[in-house]
Chain A
Amino acid sequence: MIALDDYKQNRTGDTQRFRGTVSKPFALIGRNVIRWINSIGAATIFLVLALLKTFHPKQFQKVIQQIYYIGARSTTIIMLVSLFTGMVLGLQSYHALVQFGAEGSLGTLVSLSLIRELGPVLTAIMITARAGSAITAEIGVQRISEQIDALETMRIDPFRYLVTPRITASIVSFPLLTTVFDLIGIIGGYVSAVALMGLNAGVYSHSIRSYVDMEDLTNGFVKSLVFAVIVATVCCYQGYFVHMREDSKGAKAVGLATTSAVVISCVLILVADYVVTSLLMV
């Protein structure tokens, strides 16, 4: 009888251990999914709260300052990247199209690639690298050095003071910088195709005018707005809640938050690009 009881107990223990081992990866996945859903919900509330404070009378100057920092100071790097993107696109496409005798469509290919996809995506990624990381680091340092608490004790809403101007400035800056990227990229394509490869300048410009319509420009514009909201929200959110990170604290947490902000923003830009493209093509 005792032996039977022992046997039953051992069997129950084995079963529990087996279930524990099997369920472990699922539990891990479940926890991460729940954490992701929580984060998305929190970031959405974060964005809504920040946008609600956009029209405060003392915001204008701060928004202008941030447009200068996020937008104006990113112009040079955007121009440089777009010039070479356009040039390499022109060069590669020319060699591919010339084999089919279709080099006359080069302007269309370069301009549509830039306006629909490369312009908004690469601009967003470049701003994430240059300004987004700085936003996270700056807000993160302010959080760990109690400067955000200090704002609260001075009755200055940290959301209004730190987050709203950056999100608003991003919404203004992204489409403008995307336009700059598109223009300089098309000029880059022109340089490599016309000046270097000898394509007729009229053919290049005519193919652009013939096939690029307002809808392409609007779609690119919509994408850049979506990316602006994503990048600014992710970067501000990562910095603002740096003290709640479970993996580390202090300066290390700021470093990790900055890395997370850049990685998450880049991934979300590409995911959102696909989603928005799908929706706009319907």
Chain B
Amino acid sequence: MNTPLIEFKNITKRFGEQTVLDQVNLQIYEGEVTTIIGLSGSGKSVLLKHIIGLLKPDEGTILFRGEPINDMKKTELAEAMSKISYMFQSNALFGSMTVYENIALPLLENTAMKKNEIHDRVMARIEQTELTEAAQKYPSELSGGMQKRAALARALITDPQVVLFDEPTTGQDPVRKNAILSMIAQYQKKFNFTAVMVSHEIPDVYFISNRILALYDQSIVFQGTPEELSNFDHPFNDEVIRSLEGLQKELTGLYSRRQFKVLHRSQLQSRKSDEGYCVVVFDLSDMNSIVSAIGYDRAQETIHSMGKYIDKHFDAIGGFSTRRKINEFVTVLPFSDIAETESIVKDFMEDFQKSGMSDIWGEAQKNDPQMRCVDFSVKAGMAEGRPVAEIDSIVKLAKAHQKEIGRLRCAVKE
């Protein structure tokens, strides 16, 4: 593997008698979204503050592109740190400055750019983060989500290579939580920075993370992909993940991936090997254009609504569902064949188009009458499997058969 962008070697940090980090080893790679998970008060933020130099380790070495930062000259260290931005849990926006002034501050203080250059750059970021109308407002006049966006715009104004996010979704409702995570994922792709995030929003962070680092008992006990974490046999899984991950996800009300697997196993164990069952994979197409048309919050409400309707239609007939990716849902119908499944999916689409969408648009337009409408499609793929087969292979087969089953239009309700 490549040289890590940031590497911790045997980092120990104590506050008085209390050891917060004990011999921590970790690697963060360039261009990825890395999420540090752990219980509250386990030292995640302390770990993050070491990366940007707000805290110094008592023992151990931090390497930036393979070079120990302790051996760097002052100018080299300043150069390395200038590529890192930090988004605080509390946003840390200056209350006496407008959103515009907050975002412009790093450029005004650290560069020799002319005022009109700074203005152009700040306005570009403000537009990208959908804050145009809030530019001259003070942070206290903004909603929690807008404050997060302002903090993100400030963190991105210097075009950093690394952005550290300290619990970016704290205190937000499920829709807004997922909207912020989706925003981070989209900006990470757009601006191509390396994202390091501290969170305990399990499993929501799995959808946007390339790598997960698990902080447990003052040490990093796991480094790997979200999929690898589900097979990780360690007390961390029992004590931390299960306590943070509810049986049902907050946003969609569907089962968590782990619970889905358990249900799948227990439901199909008692079935004969020649008895079939069906899997449906739904896909909300082109999330990016949905987000750009209706915003992050509304896009998450669409997902929320989709989850609600999936549950309503399939739970009643013994089905169980989960959300696998940001816009992908999987439903298992243990007692249905493919013909029956097709008919249920058709009913689902009609109901979702008729009521689900009008609920979303009606609510959205009540808040913002000028809101732009967007058409988007829902794809579904079905596959029949046998209880002996692995769920992943049937999901794969269903995905291969995916086709558009409905195109949804806004402004259904006048």
Binding site for B on A (CB under 8 A): 58, 141-142, 145-147, 149-150, 152-156, 161
Contact = CB atoms under 8 A, between A and B. Distances in A.
Interface string B98-141: 00000001101110000000000000000000000000000000
A152 B105 CA distance: 12
B105 A156 contact: yes
Contacts of B86: 150, 153
A153 B52 contact: yes
Contact of B88 (A58, A150, A155, A161): A150
B326 interface: no
Interface stretch (B77-85, B228-236, B243-251): B77-85
Given A58-B109, A161-B109, A153 B54 contact: yes
A156 B110 contact: yes
Nearest to B90: A146
8 contacts: A142-B94, A147-B92, A153-B52, A153-B86, A154-B85, A154-B105, A155-B82, A156-B106
A150 B92 contact: yes
Contacts of B108: 58
A149 B105 contact: no
B92 A155 contact: no
B90 A154 contact: no
Contacts of B158: 154
A169 to B, nearest CB: 17
A149 B81 contact: no
Nearest to A56: B109
A154 B106 contact: yes
Nearest to B166: A146
B54 A155 contact: no
Nearest to B54: A149
A146 B88 contact: yes
Q: Which of A141, A147, A153 has the most CB of B within 10 A?
A: A153
A154 B84 CA distance: 9
Nearest to B84: A153
Contacts of B54: 149, 152-153
A161 B53 CA distance: 19
Contacts of A58: 108-109
A155 B105 contact: no
A156 to B, nearest CB: 5
Contacts of A145: 90, 92, 95
Contact of B85 (A147, A153, A161): A153
A161 B110 CA distance: 11
Nearest to B108: A58
A107 B158 CA distance: 62
Nearest to A148: B92
B69 to A, nearest CB: 15
Given A149-B54, A161-B109, A155 B90 contact: no
A154 B160 CA distance: 11
B92 A149 contact: yes
A154 B88 contact: no
Which A-B residue pairs are the 9 nearest by beta carbons? Answer: A150-B92, A153-B86, A146-B92, A154-B106, A156-B109, A146-B88, A147-B92, A153-B52, A146-B90
A152 B54 CA distance: 8
A146 B110 CA distance: 20
Contacts of B110: 154-156
Nearest to A141: B95
Contacts of A146: 88, 90, 92
Contacts of A152: 53-54
A156 B157 CA distance: 14
Given A147-B94, A152-B54, 13 more contacts: A58-B108, A58-B109, A141-B95, A145-B90, A145-B92, A147-B92, A149-B92, A150-B92, A153-B86, A154-B105, A154-B106, A154-B109, A155-B78
A156 B102 CA distance: 13
A155 B82 CA distance: 7
Contacts of B78: 155
B97 to A, nearest CB: 10
B115 to A, nearest CB: 12
Interface string B162-181: 00000000000000000000
A58 B90 CA distance: 28
Contacts of A150: 86, 88, 92
Contacts of B82: 155
B15 to A, nearest CB: 13
Contacts of B109: 58, 154, 156, 161
Contacts of A142: 94
Query: Which of A58, A147, A150 has most B Cβ within 10 Å?
Result: A150
Nearest to B96: A138
B94 A155 contact: no
A153 B151 CA distance: 13
A149 B105 CA distance: 14
Interface in B28-57: 52-54
Contacts of A141: 95
A146 B95 CA distance: 12
A63 to B, nearest CB: 15
A156 B94 CA distance: 14
B330 to A, nearest CB: 40
A147 B151 CA distance: 12
Contacts of A154: 85, 105-106, 109-110, 154, 158
A140 B94 CA distance: 13
A58 B113 CA distance: 13
Contacts of B93: 147
Nearest to A154: B106
Nearest to B81: A155
A146 B106 CA distance: 16
Contacts of B90: 145-146
B74 to A, nearest CB: 12
Nearest to A138: B96
Contacts of A153: 52, 54, 84-86
